[in-house]
Structure 1
Amino acid sequence: MSGFSSLNTATTALWAAQRGMDVTGQNIANVNTDGYSRQRVDLQAMGGTAVPAIHSVSNGSDGGVAVEGVRRVRDAFLEARGHLETANTARLTAESAALGQVEENFREPGRSGIQSMLTDVWSAFSDLTTNPLKLAPRSQVIERLDTLAAGLHTTRAALDQQWDQTRDGLAVLAADVSTAAVSIADLNNSIRLATLSGLPVNELADRRDSLVSRLAEAVGATAVPRADGVVDVTIGGTTLVSGTHAIGVRLAGSDNPDGVGTDAPRLVTDPGGTTLRAGGTAGGQITALTSIVPGYRTQLDALARSLAGSLNAAHTAGFDATGAPGGPLFDDGSGTDPVDLSAVTAANLTLRVTDPARVAAAGISPAATGGTPSADARNADALFRLSLDPAGTDALYRKLVVSLGVESSVATRNLEVQSVLSAQVDAARESVSGVNLDEEMTNMMAFQHAYNAAARMITTIDEALDTLISRTGLVGR
């Protein structure tokens, strides 16, 4: 009977080698499949019987080999680290992109930027000091002041549009997160049922882990393994997917940048309304909505108020071409007197003086010159000297632009450093779970030789049994 035991041993070796080649073929077929984890066959030696009995003995040399299962090759620590670094990279990418767009909105340096428009305004006042009674330099002052106001309107509108687009993008992201959470819960259910039934779940687990990675990038989600092969997904400590159940995510908060201070945009659970401490792309977009864009929007409004306040104060100190005292140059578009500077913003800054003759260039009252308009240009010079004020509008704007440049540069540098770190972690993950064709070819040859050897063993045992049966006279008895 030992010959038949050997035949069984060789048969198990044949099946094990066949299974190994099947798995190797699956790895090779999915070498370019995103999210696929390479698989390995777990083989276990089969020994003799271990049941004690008086007449049941075994020399332990028979049994063969059994395929215990096919497992995915993954490192749990590297997967968790990968989710963390992916979330950080996505957050920094969103913040850097937001700052880059703010820089584009300010259009500095360039002829279309506010700094260039301010320079043109001061140049116009300088020209006015040379020819205070002529119409051309007065018209030039009006034109360039109006251009400056329009430039402030354009920049403010661009910031408002950026805020709206970022909010819309965050709303779409929240909907995608909800869909992914439901898909993960469904896959958890399928994996649990398959695990209890003893069916393979590797491909299902790969699909689920790919969705978890997407959530890590989108909102900084993390996964916690549970029994029966399922995982829980959490965002900042709040459970989004618990086993086979999932809750949604929605965007809450103000839909207007003016309401950020009292009702900031945020992601909340749906149902429940619990605020999520989101990371990833969502975290960066929330920072843009609550800090980056509103911050520069506020500074731009302060610049508009500073411009209106300083020019109005200087202009009212002079006299225009008709001999009348100068009035305010800018207001909030309401036309009321006195001008309420607290109501002035970069969006509503309006040039109040549209008649070139109403530009107050003179510093001497007509009463002191016999009733005729004065050719004195001291007030035009005073308006020009506002550009030299170390605490004036020019200095305030330069400070804003420098601050924006530094913040954007730091964000870009942080993203570069984080990208290198994330690439290293991804490379480490790929070295563990990625398919290496050279390694798979080696495994294929090993299993092929094992299969050939097992087949040869069966042939040899068959010949031995044939000899045993034929030469011991068993034939015909």
Structure 2
Amino acid sequence: MGSNIFSILNTAKLGLLSQQLAIEVTGQNIANVQTEGYSRQQVNFEATTPRSFSLGQLGTGVRVAGIERSHDEFLFSQILSEGDTLGRFQVRKDVFEQLEILLSENNGQSLNQTLSSFFAGVQDLSSNPTGLPERTSLVAEAKNLASVFNNLGESLFQIQQNLDATISVKVAKINSLTKEIAAFNQSIHANEPTTFSANDLRDKRDQKIKELSGLIDLNFVDEQDGQISITLNDGTPLVLQSTAFTLDTSINGNNKSFLDIVVLDGAGNSTNITSSITGGTLKGYLDMRDTEVEGLRDKLDRLAAGFVQEFNKIHQQGFGIDGSTGNNFFNALTTTVLTNTSNTGSATLTATNGDPSNISVDKYEITITGSNSLSLTNLTTG
């Protein structure tokens, strides 16, 4: 009889202890309802080992089999996928808003307003070609137009420089996150020697992974030991279990000395991964710097060059007060030579405009292919 009473009391005790733990977990869930990144936890119960006797088996109570997170791996993967898309387009939105303000008609001295004022001056002068006030006014309008073109070009380049500086900051943030994720991997592996899951550590790691996905595209793989490995979409490793790979920047001498992104392999070797990055804010900054803003600068340069060239052609057909003809109104276009800062040796390259009246506004690349040979590529037309 004593044995039976003991068994009954023990079964009741196990039930109470198990339910007490369940209540504690419920309290933890309620306390963290506003905690970002916290996953609701639930207690899993299982029956204890039954006792065998002549009539069969008799249960001995209940015990906690584990405490698991309410975590949907598929949904988490979708969040990461959308995170890098959101990050990329958020950057594009922000930069386009800057460009909209810069090019706005309400900017006080917009290009459209300045061109209109210039042609109004031309119209006034055409009514009185010898009038000194009209001639002086047109020259002032022309100088103002040139200043607006130059200021717009400088402002666009400043935006590119700001984007370039931000890229360096984002690379440092990515390195910080990958190191934290690798450290969480190590802690989770150390704290999960049994079937119990380190839920809080996993929540914190997931938060870091979500933050990382907003910065750069990634794929992740759950390892059997509780750790995860993270790569870019092309397979470039960022985190392999407890090892984090470091990203760095290197100057691209063929791109206005802007920064490229490289990954270090731990042995001092680096691999350029700029073209491999397909998502996140980092991709957004790269695209806006090298494609969108650069494209606007190129269009602005071509507009200014074409305007000067065509206006000079028309002006050359007229006559000055002194009877001279063939005169330029604007200074003749000059050729700009940008040298790849990564070039070796001491040789320098210059270009001379042999026919200012027939200059091309295209961009060209000259590459030395041998001791006495070179190649010329039109970058504008391909």
Q: Which residue of 2 aligns with 1:161?
A: 158
Greater fraction helix? 1
Q: Partners in 2 of 1:153 and 1:344 — Cα distance?
A: 16
Contact 1:308–1:341, Cα closer than 8 Å, also in 2: no
Q: Deviations over 1:354-403 (max 9, x none)?
A: xxxxxxxxxxxxxxxxxxxxxxxxxxxxxxxxxxxxxxxxxxxxxxxxxx
Between stretches 116-125 and 20-29, larger displacement belongs to: 20-29
Question: Is the radius of gyration larger for structure 1 or structure 2?
Answer: 1
Q: Deviations over 1:281-320 (max 9, x none)?
A: 1111111122111111111110011111011111111112
Q: Secondary structure at the match of 1:71?
A: strand
Correspondence 1:186 to 2:183: yes
Q: Which residue of 2 aligns with 1:172?
A: 169
Correspondence 1:7 to 2:9: yes
Correspondence 1:222 to 2:239: no
Deviation at 1:34, TM superposition (A): 1.2
Q: Which residue of 2 aligns with 1:398?
A: none
Q: Partners in 2 of 1:150 and 1:305 — Cα distance?
A: 14
Which amino acid counterpart does residue 240 of structure 1 have in structure 2?
L
Q: Deviations over 1:204-247 (max 9, x none)?
A: 11111111001111002232111121111111221210011110
Correspondence 1:247 to 2:245: yes
Q: Partners in 2 of 1:155 and 1:17 — Cα distance?
A: 70
Q: Deviations over 1:176-227 (max 9, x none)?
A: 1011111111110110011016665111111111110011110022321111
Q: Partners in 1 of 2:38 and 2:305 — Cα distance?
A: 58
Correspondence 1:327 to 2:324: no
Contact 2:66–2:195, Cα closer than 8 Å, also in 1: no
Between stretches 4-13 and 106-115, larger displacement belongs to: 106-115
Q: Which residue of 2 aligns with 1:125?
A: 122
Q: Partners in 1 of 2:167 and 2:91 — Cα distance?
A: 11
Q: Which residue of 2 aligns with 1:269?
A: 263
Q: Which residue of 2 aligns with 1:339?
A: 356
Contact 2:309–2:357, Cα closer than 8 Å, also in 1: no
Deviation at 1:273, TM superposition (A): 1.3
Change (3 A) 1:230 1:337: closer
Q: Partners in 2 of 1:68 and 1:318 — Cα distance?
A: 96
Change (3 A) 1:18 1:112: same
Q: Partners in 1 of 2:252 and 2:297 — Cα distance?
A: 16
Greater fraction strand? 2
How many residues of Structure 1 are paired with residues of Structure 2 in the alignment? 336
Q: Deviations over 1:99-150 (max 9, x none)?
A: 2322222233554110111111110010011121111110110011111110
Which amino acid counterpart does residue 339 of structure 1 have in structure 2?
P
Q: Partners in 1 of 2:178 and 2:118 — Cα distance?
A: 56
Q: Deviations over 1:3-62 (max 9, x none)?
A: 111101100111111101111111122111111111111111224147xxxxx5574333
Query: Which residues in structure 2 correspond to 1:321-470 (within 5 Å)?
Result: 321-330=321-330, 331-332=332-333, 339=356, 342=359
Query: Which residues in structure 2 correspond to 1:29-48 (within 5 Å)?
Result: 29-48=31-50
Which amino acid counterpart does residue 179 of structure 2 have in structure 1?
V
Q: Deviations over 1:422-474 (max 9, x none)?
A: xxxxxxxxxxxxxxxxxxxxxxxxxxxxxxxxxxxxxxxxxxxxxxxxxxxxx
Gap regions ≥5 residues in structure 1 = 51-55, 346-477
Q: Deviations over 1:61-105 (max 9, x none)?
A: 331111111111100000000100111111111122222322222
Correspondence 1:60 to 2:57: yes
Q: Partners in 2 of 1:328 and 1:254 — Cα distance?
A: 38
Which amino acid counterpart does residue 80 of structure 1 have in structure 2?
S
Q: Which residue of 2 aligns with 1:452?
A: none
Correspondence 1:77 to 2:66: no
Which amino acid counterpart does residue 249 of structure 1 have in structure 2?
L
Contact 1:231–1:242, Cα closer than 8 Å, also in 2: yes
Deviation at 1:342, TM superposition (A): 4.6
Contact 1:317–1:326, Cα closer than 8 Å, also in 2: yes
Q: Partners in 1 of 2:54 and 2:299 — Cα distance?
A: 90
Percent identity, aligned pairs only? 27
Q: Partners in 2 of 1:36 and 1:25 — Cα distance?
A: 13
Q: Partners in 1 of 2:22 and 2:164 — Cα distance?
A: 51
Q: Secondary structure at the match of 1:68?
A: strand
Q: Partners in 2 of 1:336 and 1:295 — Cα distance?
A: 24
Q: Which residue of 2 aligns with 1:395?
A: none
Gap regions ≥5 residues in structure 2 = 336-351, 363-382
Q: Partners in 2 of 1:154 and 1:39 — Cα distance?
A: 58
Q: Secondary structure at the match of 1:141?
A: helix
Correspondence 1:99 to 2:116: no
Contact 1:328–1:339, Cα closer than 8 Å, also in 2: no
Contact 2:50–2:57, Cα closer than 8 Å, also in 1: yes
Q: Secondary structure at the match of 1:219?
A: coil
Contact 2:260–2:272, Cα closer than 8 Å, also in 1: no
Q: Which has the higher contact order (CA 8 A, sep 6+)?
A: 1
Contact 1:257–1:294, Cα closer than 8 Å, also in 2: no
Change (3 A) 1:256 1:340: farther
Contact 1:305–1:341, Cα closer than 8 Å, also in 2: no
Contact 2:47–2:61, Cα closer than 8 Å, also in 1: yes
Q: Partners in 1 of 2:301 and 2:54 — Cα distance?
A: 93
TM-score scaled by length of structure 1? 0.66
Contact 1:304–1:344, Cα closer than 8 Å, also in 2: no
Contact 2:15–2:61, Cα closer than 8 Å, also in 1: yes
Query: Which residues in structure 2 correspond to 1:133-152 (within 5 Å)?
Result: 133-152=130-149
Change (3 A) 1:253 1:341: farther
Q: Secondary structure at the match of 1:273?
A: strand
Change (3 A) 1:342 1:66: farther
Which amino acid counterpart does residue 247 of structure 1 have in structure 2?
F
Q: Which residue of 1 aligns with 2:228?
A: 231
Q: Partners in 2 of 1:49 and 1:215 — Cα distance?
A: 52
Q: Partners in 2 of 1:336 and 1:232 — Cα distance?
A: 56
Contact 1:125–1:141, Cα closer than 8 Å, also in 2: yes
RMSD of aligned Cα (Å): 2.4
Q: Which residue of 2 aligns with 1:298?
A: 298
